[in-house]
Amino acid sequence: MTERTYNVLFLCTGNSARSILAEGILRKDGEGRFTAYSAGSQPKGTVNPLALKVLGDHGYPTDGYRSKSWDEFAALGAPVMDFVLTVCDSAAGEVCPVWPGHPSIAHWSIEDPAAVEGSDADKEQAFVRAFQFLKSRIGTFVHLPLASLDRFTMGTRIQQLVMWKRQARLQQVGLIRPRSRME
């Protein structure tokens, strides 16, 4: 029996940085199991060169990306998405199109590396941090038992992933203490 391939759409406002990084990571890390796409509510029209640089520096393909509108994926004949993941707060708060197929939808809040001001090194480091954050989250996502979960349960699991990662980060920096087994 052949395992199903799942379509995943990453959304961001400009579709030039975070959603491009996420698409690139899932293209490679989820190859054969996922087909990755990205789009924006107000696409910039170009991909940020630092997104491509960071992908390339980490061994990910840098070709075939373009900044495009999410309307392409709501149109008749577009690939039907199984998952739609917003990766910026402004896109998460916007009224999204009605997605064919009623995919599971989740939000992963990630700081915009393109908004960082400072030296070229500061800007590149912001892209590296966004890449690492997305790689970690996508790494967990690709190992979820997708075939055995229904859409509602999957949406809940994806949201739990966000909470687990946030809690681990807060524990790392000492803002909360780990829970004991008795709590």
Catalytic residue ranges? 12, 88, 96
Long-range contacts of 107-113 (CB under 8 A, 24+ apart): 107/162, 108/134, 108/137, 108/162, 109/162, 110/18, 110/134, 112/17, 112/18, 112/88, 113/17, 113/18, 113/50, 113/51
Distances (CA, A) of 19 to 69, 152, 167: 12, 23, 23
Q: Which two tokens stand for residue 138?
A: 């996508």
Instruction: Round to whole Å and give the CA distance between 29 and 71.
Output: 26
Q: Which two tokens stand for residue 148?
A: 């055995």
Longest dimension (CA), the chain: 53
Instruction: Round to whole Å and give the CA distance between 10 and 23.
Output: 7
